[in-house]
Amino acid sequence: MPGRRACDADRIRYLHLVAAARAATVRPTSEWQVADIVRVTVDDEVDTGVFRAIVTDVATDILR
């Protein structure tokens, strides 16, 4: 189902952007806090690998 994959990718991008915006607003000081923000944002919509990738990406941007 090609349409399903595109929809999933769009949803993941959306969740990533929302998590990044929330983290930018809160200004966490550790990757653990970023992970909590991402966890609340994605709420079991992504698998562990995607979750970890979003946390790493957001933490890299926010914690510099």
Q: pLDDT digits over 9-42, tens only?
A: 999 999 999 999 999 999 999 999 999 999 999 9
How many other C-beta atoms can be found within 10 angstroms of the C-beta atom of residue 34? 26
Structural domain range at position 20 = 2-62
Distance CA 9, CA 57 (A): 16
pTM for this structure?
0.86
Please give the tally of structural domains in the chain.
1
Q: Helical H runs in 1-64?
A: 2-26, 31-42, 48-62
- HSE at residue 41, side-chain half, CA atoms within 13 A, is 25
How many other C-beta atoms can be found within 10 angstroms of the C-beta atom of residue 39? 14
